[in-house]
Amino acid sequence: MTDAELGELAASLRVSLGLLRRRLRAATTDGALPLPELTAIVRIDRLGPMTTASLARVEQISPQSMGATVRSLQDKGFLAGDPDPTDGRRVVLSLTEAGRAAVEAERAVRNRHLTRALQATLDPDEVRTLAAAVPLLQRVAEEL
């Protein structure tokens, strides 16, 4: 495959995966959290406990904006804050059981939507082809 063909493939993948991501984001539960709150608890679920400042850095927003998001999530019972064992002035945020349940509910809704789309759009051979491509996409993602 030529460099030009690889470039076209890269552009097609970027557009297709971007559309997939946007459509899955739109598929939320009825009591859905606002996107900034959902993003914050998903990030803590994936990366583990962290401070508000660390979470703000990862999400590339101001600590003040993240502080408002964190307060809302704490008010809803989705985040707990404990003193940092190495620096008692800081608070380490972690998911509560309710927070973990909210993350899992959102993921389950998106998985159901994607499963239905796969069933409605692809034949069994295409599903197998897509399944074979997933590890390849994972390797490419890890390289970025």
Write out pLDDT tens, residues 39-90. 999 999 999 999 999 999 999 999 999 999 999 999 999 999 998 888 878 8
pLDDT score, position 31: 62
pLDDT at 87: 81
> Number of structural domains, the chain?
1
C-alpha to C-alpha distance for 100 and 123, rounded to whole angstroms? 34
Comparing C-alpha atoms, which of 57, 61, 58, 45 is closest to residue 93?
A: 45
Which residue, among 103, 102, 106, 84, has the nearest Cα to 93 in the 3D structure? 84
Per-chain mean pLDDT for the chain: 91
Enumerate the β-bridge partners of residue 91.
83
∠ CA 136-141-139, nearest 5°, is 35
Supply the range of the domain harboring residue 110: 3-143
Q: The CATH number of the domain where 67 resides is what?
A: 1.10.10.10
pLDDT(30) > 70: no
According to DSSP, residue 60 is labeled T
Neighbours of 34 (CB within 10 A): 11
Q: How far is CA 96 from CA 4, 14, 58, 68, 79, in A?
A: 49, 35, 20, 18, 5
Query: What's the whole-model pTM score?
Result: 0.76
> What was the pLDDT predicted at 62?
92
